[in-house]
Amino acid sequence: MSDYVVGLTGGIGSGKSRVAELFVERGAALVDTDAIAHELTGPGGGAMPALQAEFGATVVDAQGGLDRAAMRQLVFADPARRRRLEAILHPLIRQLAGERCRAAAAPYVILAVPLLVESGSYRQRCQRILVVDCPEELQIARVLARNGLTADQVRAIMAAQASREQRLAAADDVIVNDADFASLAERVEELHQKYLRLLAEIPKASC
């Protein structure tokens, strides 16, 4: 079991997934709240009965999972519906994430939460907050290269997230991901060693 949790976050296109992979390669466990959300909303997922009851059959696809396009259309311009969606999903995500953090067979856990700063509640369960940062224009360029969105759509997503300044203000550690892969891997290695040192300094409970 691991009780040492590093909350990993960053804006869209910052490189969170690559950073998480590098920590896993060094022996950390990964608990990814995006992956958990997809599990919960896939065919037979634990959130599907409540989502169908709340929003109707139009948000269920032919396989029995969430029709994400239909749900986006429902909640995009309706804050009340978005809050109802979050009220169903977020407690389930937090519960599963907590269970998986506690069950992890690794020295420490990387808890990847894209909206960690926005949610507020994850701060209490993390020993450190690690923010992956890069210039906003680089974020936009990366997302344009992979997602087929327009620049205006990417900026709209960024505007709905915490600002770069808000994320950095919440950070205990920062990885600036604006250079080559070797530089990124070197910084991850530095932080991996730091987390192992911090973990070793925690007093062990006596039997």
Question: Long-range pairs for 72-80 at CB < 8 Å and ≥24 separation?
Answer: none
CATH superfamily of 1-28+107-207: P-loop containing nucleotide triphosphate hydrolases (3.40.50.300)
Mean pLDDT for 124-138 is 92
Q: Share the mean pLDDT of the chain.
A: 91
Which CATH architecture best describes the domain 39-105? 3-Layer(aba) Sandwich (3.40)
1-28+107-207 matches 39-105 in fold: yes
Give the pLDDT of residue 14: 92
Q: Where are the domains of the chain?
A: 1-28+107-207, 39-105
Number of residues that this document lists for the chain: 207
Give the pLDDT of residue 79: 85
Q: Which of 95, 119, 99 is nearest to 109 (CA)?
A: 99
Mean pLDDT for 162-184 is 94
